[in-house]
Amino acid sequence: MSSNLNLFAPVQMGAYILPNRIVMAPMTRLRAIDSIPNSLMATYYAQRASAGLIVTECTMVSPLSLGYINCPGIYSAEQVAGWRLVTDAVHEQGGRIFLQLWHSGRVSHSSLLGGELPVAPSAIAGVGSLHTPLGKVSLETPRALEIEEITGIVEQFRQGAKNALAAGFDGVELHGAFGYLIDQFLQDGSNQRTDEYGGSIENRSRFLLEVVAAVVDVWGGERVGIKLSPSNTFYGMQDSNPQATFGYVIKALNAFGLAYLHLMEPNEVDLATREVLNPVITEFRSIYPGTIITNGGYDGITSDSYGALRERIIISGNADLVSFGKLFISNPDLPKRLQLNAELNTPDPRTFYAADATGYTDYPFLES
């Protein structure tokens, strides 16, 4: 990467030339009542269409992949129609939007799944709690998937990719991070299988790579991304050798010609929990020559610190784009504000997970 580039320069990302290098990160917002996307969500995403790329919130590939109340799905005709409202609205504003495909795995609860236990590579409970119809409950011990079930879940991702195509998305991102099902198969703290999906790094990577292959078969590699979090400790995730585990996977991903690799940096909790890879992009840039989006630790910037942000990301040559989470919640016109060094709205965490427009579509634009 040339050192004279900046976040407002166009960039080739897979099949697309993006107008800037600022990505709206996927963020759970819980506005999809009964798991069906709606017009309020269409307004929310369309407001943020000036991002070089929008990646949606995590989206279920099957009813049994639900992890949170009012998360959207992509497995029914009603959900496809709801997402079409979103993609049409974003495209009308000149934006580009990828759908994040997701299976929560063990990060769920039987009260969310009609009484069925969550599934995972192994019967090992995650650490943490969830809000459910029963109130806030601890994660329960999941049921270990039978080997013949795994192919069916790969096919759920394939069908979700097909449905995303029908809904008018520009591409898809696989959620391989944050302790959800793909990540659970990959890391040895959550995967203690003894068949071809467990044990060695190659075996633990098998599910992830099979899902990538299935989705690439639908979209082509240049319209598919994947998000990984090598230093993540969410829900009790851990691996005995993350450098080797994620190094193997990232090298293997080179064969697919993906649009991008979305890498999550550790947060304060990760850093305080145990020794983790930090920074992540520095660790893996040398083995992944494709496009890298970096995420994590950038939401605390102000207009005064933008220059340091540019120095950290772009001049270093370790990433091609940067994704923002909370700042896009409160600043629908974030690229413009950053370019003008303008004042930034402050996000209100009390409204992150709610059911109405408050703290969702009512943050002011700069001109207002």
Cβ atoms of 85 and 56 closer than 8 Å: no
Say how many Å lie between the first and final Cα of the chain, rounded: 37
Whether the model clears a pTM of 0.85, i.e. scores above it, the answer is yes
Cβ atoms of 244 and 205 closer than 8 Å: no
Q: How far apart (Å, rounded) are the C-alpha atoms in residues 196 and 145?
A: 13
pLDDT at 309: 61
Q: How far apart (Å, rounded) are the C-alpha atoms in residues 241 and 21?
A: 32
Q: How far apart (Å, rounded) are the C-alpha atoms in residues 113 and 99?
A: 23
Active-site residue flag, 180: yes
Backbone angles phi, psi at 292, to 5 degrees: -120, 130
pLDDT at 271: 81
Q: How far apart (Å, rounded) are the C-alpha atoms in residues 185 and 191?
A: 5
Neighbours of 99 (CB within 10 A): 29
Residue whose C-alpha is closest to residue 313's, from 294, 287, 334: 294
Catalytic residue, candidates 68, 180, 288, 363: 180
Q: How far apart (Å, rounded) are the C-alpha atoms in residues 277 and 283?
A: 7
Q: How far apart (Å, rounded) are the C-alpha atoms in residues 47 and 53?
A: 13
Q: Spell out the residues 6+ positions from residue 276 whose beta carbon is closer than 8 angstroms to its own.
A: 230, 231, 233, 242, 266, 270
CA atoms within 13 A on the CB side of 18: 31
pLDDT per position in the chain (368 positions), as tens? 333 457 899 999 999 999 999 999 999 999 999 999 999 999 999 999 999 999 999 999 999 999 999 999 999 999 999 999 999 999 999 999 999 999 999 999 999 999 999 999 999 999 999 999 999 999 999 999 999 999 999 999 999 999 999 999 999 999 999 999 999 999 999 999 999 999 999 999 999 999 999 999 999 999 999 999 999 899 999 999 999 999 999 999 999 999 999 999 888 888 888 888 888 988 999 999 999 999 986 666 555 555 556 556 655 678 899 999 999 999 999 999 988 888 999 999 999 998 899 999 999 999 87
Residue whose C-alpha is closest to residue 264's, from 341, 185, 158, 177: 177
Cβ atoms of 225 and 253 closer than 8 Å: no
Domains of the chain: 11-351 (3.20.20.70)
Secondary structure letter of residue 191 according to DSSP: -
Cβ atoms of 126 and 235 closer than 8 Å: yes
Q: How far apart (Å, rounded) are the C-alpha atoms in residues 136 and 185?
A: 26
pLDDT at 268: 80
